[in-house]
Structure 1
Amino acid sequence: MANAEPPRNEDEMRIKVREMIQDIQVAMMVTTDSNGHLHGRPMRAQKPDADGKTLWFFTRDDSPKIAELESDRHVLLGYSDPKGQDFVSVSGTARVVRDKAKNKELWTEDLRTWLPEGPEGDGIALIAVQIEQAEYWDAISSNLTFAFGYAKALATGKPAHSGENAKVGFTGR
């Protein structure tokens, strides 16, 4: 999703973050266990909420991550699209949602692979992550640009800067 012109303000950068992650199907969710150790696992990502600040994930109600989130709600989400050279890190606070109507609203049939009982099954919960801040790396992904960057780095001994990196806050808006 490399753009010719980088975003100029916080609102544009928030939109850019949402656009970068909306089609990435799996995010790495990192939580903290009761001993203070970080624990990461892949999670099937749903489309960002209409408010643009909430991300949703399905889980089993008895998963260890539920207990981790109940003791420390801070999470880190890592999104990666290596083919498009898009990478996003999202930090926020999570809450567990037990609402079958919301399950049905967010359900996609491919989730049945992990949750065969469907959206109304017992023991299915959602994790809602309220985005607090994000950082993204949007590199230009064409082979020609990569080859030029490689040649420039080889000739000058300095890294090529062929992309964009920015931090953006989501709180207070």
Structure 2
Amino acid sequence: MSNHDDIAKVWELIDRIGFCMLATQDGRDIRSRPMSAYTKKNDNAIYFLTDLASHKDDEVARWPNVCLAFADTKGQKYVSVSGSAEISNDRELIREIWSTPAKAWWESAEDPSIRVLKITPSFAEYWDSPGTVMSYIKMAAAAVSSAKPDMGENEKVSL
């Protein structure tokens, strides 16, 4: 696969999986929490809606390097994205990316406590395996033959 194809694959997997664990730094500790992602490939950005009062906003203001871990365990597809984060109060973007999952936290996109967390990815790694059943079959066959199994694609990609 070419680098262009690998980059396209990263964005495709992120869009398909949709939810991730966002890891931020809090001094010496690293904290993760589930988040619903909104991507804009042309902006080279992954967006999240967040609340003004949340700890993650303070954390990314102090330590902007973050990691996003996307996982589709049933399909055996994974993406890890490293990048830098920033918080904004872009009301137009908030309305644009507002969707059903956000209704669990706020009544409407007009809630003044909503902020946008923008991640600008710099690096990603993905794993795209043929699926759980096929992966188990390949691992079993490899164990019997002492060969390494072909578990699908794994690529490191600069974004």
**2:35 counterpart residue number:** 43
Give the TM-score normalised by the residue count of structure 1: 0.86
Indicate the residue corresponding to 1:150 in structure 2. Answer: 139
| Aligned counterpart, 1:4 | none
**Identical columns (%):** 30
Output the CA distance in 2 between the equivalents of 1:39 and 1:146. 30
Residue 11 of structure 1: aligned partner: 4
Alpha-carbon separation, structure 2, partners of 1:40 and 1:27? 9
Contact 1:27 1:45 in 2 (8 A): yes
Structure 2 segments unaligned to the other structure (5+ residues): none
* In 2, Cα distance between equivalents of 1:63 and 1:90: 22
Distance 1:32 1:146 in 2: 34
String of CA shifts for 1:71-127, please: whole Å, max 9, x gaps.
011000000001111000000001101011111011113310122x31110110010
Distance 1:142 1:41 in 2: 25
> Which of 122, 125, 128 is residue 115 of structure 2 equivalent to?
125
Give deviations 1:17-72, integer Å, cap 9, x for gaps: 00011021311000111x221111111112x1141520000110110011101101
Q: Which of the two has greater helix per residue?
A: 2
After TM superposition, the score normalised by the length of structure 2 is 0.93
Alignment gaps of 5+ in structure 1: 1-7
Contact 1:18 1:52 in 2 (8 A): no
SS at match of 1:23: helix
Contact 2:46 2:118 in 1 (8 A): yes
2:98 pairs with one of 93, 107, 114:
107
